[in-house]
A and B are shown apart, each in its own frame.
Chain A
């Protein structure tokens, strides 16, 4: 059986991890490379690097970090953040990324997913969608949750999966940062009919939240950022608890 995956997400700006950490024995707590190594040792199944660098000059800083991480950490790496063109795919794949996550880029250019899938394969293309409740419906937002696209989330992710996205990340804007649990209702509504793997994001606050996620939805992976960075959840302990609750994980 496939194991459920636990995925820490690192937001990187100007070469540093944005959210702080409290790993006591890590000499450089803000270094994405050191943090990635630590997560890999603790049993993270995959890592997501999100490039939130504002300027082009610092973009090479990000790819340098990616290269260094990929030469030290031997688990899958997904890279996202401002991926708009096939050149962007090429740029990060050359530096060791295994999968590339597109969000607003796919909304702006509906052919991006299918074109990238044709060249790099479906397994390489991850569609990330920021979803929020609007008048009782689940709607897709663009530009980091700032712009309401009016697109129905169920329809949008299904279309992307059909056109070549090999994996879907569903971020709940409503539960993001609240740390009171994943958006089970949204995940069930949007992910249930998808034929590709789904990663749940937004709302992880406790070990119990991950247990609920895997018990009440059939998503394949749970993503977290600050809960891992601040050490509120330790990955080893989380996986042990999941296993004790009958959920298959890689220990």
Chain B
């Protein structure tokens, strides 16, 4: 069973539907006890980093997430949920993340290239290292992004990138901890295959 962490940041409707679509049992939890029963967990997230990090901390869920990740439970962060896996973010001030992956989160620098923010729409994946998460996906497939900040200085953990003026980290991971900057639950069939692969981790 996959547990989705509910800490008041994000719309989980599509995520639940897409996991059900790939045949997974899914439950939403806003407490530690529930999460301990899960085979794998997903940390979603929409909004600003600082606010989300604070909510996660205040709900007492951040320690549970760290503990479960440390025990080897597969963890997938999505969008802001992936950014929270890193050490810190400079979005509206400096904020600490979960430090499950090395690196920080900063604003996408695409102004010189004359590109718009948010980076919104479908972009094609380029793989940097192998990951079970993408075993059903081929190089060049498109996935859906909506974000203005991205992970930096995280080269060890980068799984896939996309080009947008600069190279943007699209997915990162180390062992059982991984994250996608894009929304697999909004990335059509490609996204469903990624979620399917996660449910098999």
Interface residues on B, range: 20 to 34
Tell me, in angstroms, the Cα distance from A197 to B115 when the chains sit together.
9
Is residue B118 within 8 Å, beta carbon to beta carbon, of the partner chain?
yes
Tell me, in angstroms, the Cα distance from A250 to B122 when the chains sit together.
7
Q: Which of B14, B47, B121 counts the most chain A CB atoms within 10 A? A: B121
Q: Is the CB of A195 within 8 A of B13?
A: no
Min distance, Cβ B13 to any Cβ of chain A, angstroms: 4
Tell me, in angstroms, the Cα distance from A2 to B165 when the chains sit together.
10
Min distance, Cβ B154 to any Cβ of chain A, angstroms: 22
Q: Is the CB of B121 within 8 A of A166?
A: no
Report chain B residues within 8 Å CB of A124. Answer: 46
CB within 8 Å of A: which B115-162 residues: 116-124, 142, 144, 146-148
Min distance, Cβ A29 to any Cβ of chain B, angstroms: 23
The prevalent SS among residues of B at the interface is mixed
CB within 8 Å of B: which A143-181 residues: 166-167
Q: Is the CB of B146 within 8 A of A75?
A: no
Closest to A4 in B: B121
Min distance, Cβ B19 to any Cβ of chain A, angstroms: 11
Q: Is the CB of A122 within 8 A of B14?
A: no
Report chain B residues within 8 Å CB of A70. Answer: 13-14, 17
The prevalent SS among residues of A at the interface is loop
Is residue A233 within 8 Å, beta carbon to beta carbon, of the partner chain?
no
Is residue B70 within 8 Å, beta carbon to beta carbon, of the partner chain?
no
Q: Is the CB of B120 within 8 A of A123?
A: yes
Q: Which of B17, B20, B48, B189 counts the most chain A CB atoms within 10 A? A: B17
Partner of A96, one of B17, B46, B189: B17
Partner of A75, one of B47, B116, B186: B186
Min distance, Cβ A38 to any Cβ of chain B, angstroms: 13
Q: Is the CB of B13 within 8 A of A94?
A: yes
Report chain A residues within 8 Å CB of B164. Answer: 1-2
Report chain A residues within 8 Å CB of B181. Answer: none
Is residue A74 within 8 Å, beta carbon to beta carbon, of the partner chain?
yes
Tell me, in angstroms, the Cα distance from A83 to B110 when the chains sit together.
32
Min distance, Cβ A163 to any Cβ of chain B, angstroms: 15
Is residue B72 within 8 Å, beta carbon to beta carbon, of the partner chain?
no
Q: Is the CB of B46 within 8 A of A5?
A: no
Chain B interfacial positions (CB closer than 8 Å to A)? 11, 13-14, 17-18, 20-21, 46-48, 116-124, 142, 144, 146-148, 163-164, 185-189, 191-192
15 pairs of residues in contact across A and B, judged by CB atoms under 8 Å: A1-B123, A1-B124, A1-B164, A2-B119, A3-B123, A5-B122, A40-B188, A71-B13, A75-B144, A75-B187, A76-B144, A93-B11, A166-B120, A195-B116, A195-B117
